[in-house]
Amino acid sequence: MRIEDEIKQKSFANEYVKAHVNILFTSSWLSYATTQELKSLGISAHQFNILRILRGMHPTPGSIKELTERMIDKTSNASRLVDKLISKNLVLKAKCDHDNRRAEVIISNEGLELLKIASERMDGLVEIFSNRLSNSEVVTLNELLDKFRG
């Protein structure tokens, strides 16, 4: 559906303004769909992101700083997110052997199991891309988004 129809706006000042609104709207739409898929599992999209990062590092632990650097949303509080994941037994945190100021975080077996389920649900969202865009269109979309961020 066209952005004009989605937000019931007849026109935009120019195509750049339209693109700005379109990207914001689409990001919000995708974020909401992601949140809805993860809600029943008891985790947020930010927590899901932390778990995916830790799975990618597994079995090597990561520091809070490393998690922050790799997160999609750089404004999220990785330390607070890790604490919530600890309370759900999805990650473990310990002091670093060689640096007492650094905490090491690793995904737990429960975290790996939950992430497997969550990832399957996210696959359903990713299917939206393959159902609506060709492979070459997705490649172009990725190239344009990368170019935009510069």
**What pLDDT was estimated at residue 70?**
96
Is 6 in the same domain as 72? no
Looking at the 3D structure of the chain, how many domains does it have? Answer: 2
Cα–chain center distance at 12:
30
User: Is the pTM for the entire model greater than 0.75?
Assistant: yes
Residue listed under structure tokens 């919000």: 28
| pLDDT 10s digits, 3-32 | 999 999 999 999 999 999 999 999 999 999
Domain that residue 61 falls in: 42-121
pLDDT category of residue 98 using cuts at 50, 70 and 90: confident
CB 7 within 8 A of CB 18: no
Looking at residue 103, which CATH number applies to its domain? 1.10.10.10
Is 105 in the same domain as 60? yes
CB 106 within 8 A of CB 92: yes
CA distance 51 to 106: 9
> N- to C-terminal Cα distance for the chain?
28
Is 52 in the same domain as 117? yes
One-letter amino acid for residue 134 of the chain:
S
The pair of structure tokens assigned to 120 is 């399957």
Radius of gyration of the chain (CA): 19
| pLDDT 10s digits, 112-123 | 999 999 999 999
Is 34 in the same domain as 63? no
Is 62 in the same domain as 84? yes
The pair of structure tokens assigned to 144 is 């344009």
